[in-house]
Amino acid sequence: MEASILKEKVEIALAEIRPFLVADGGDITLVEISDETVTIQLEGACVGCNVNQMTLKNGVEATIKKYAPQIKRVVEVQGIN
């Protein structure tokens, strides 16, 4: 799949999950797509949240895989706050 189409699909997935994160005082940013991995950065309240790894796997990763099944994993980078 062309990289720009894959990025668009990942952005659509993030747009679907974003309202839930924003409602809790957080947000999410796409950092990079390489090979079969999407790298994201959680922001705001999501950074210190004790369930952010569950959100990452059950919410973000599942939603991205729905739109882009070739993605095998989603990883988080820690931001500089």
Model pLDDT for residues 20-55, shown as the tens digit of each residue: 999 989 999 999 999 899 999 999 988 877 887 788
Q: State which H helix or E strand residue 63 sits in.
A: helix 62-67
Give residue 80's pLDDT.
55
Domain at 3-76: CATH architecture? 2-Layer Sandwich (3.30)
What CA–CA distance (Å, rounded) separates 50 from 53? 8
- Over pLDDT 90: what percentage of the chain? 63
Give residue 52's pLDDT.
78
Is residue 78 scored above 90 in pLDDT? no
Contacts of 73 (CB under 8 A, 6+ apart): 36, 37, 38, 61
pLDDT-based confidence at residue 79 (cuts at 50, 70, 90): low
Give residue 56's pLDDT.
80
For the chain, domain boundaries: 3-76
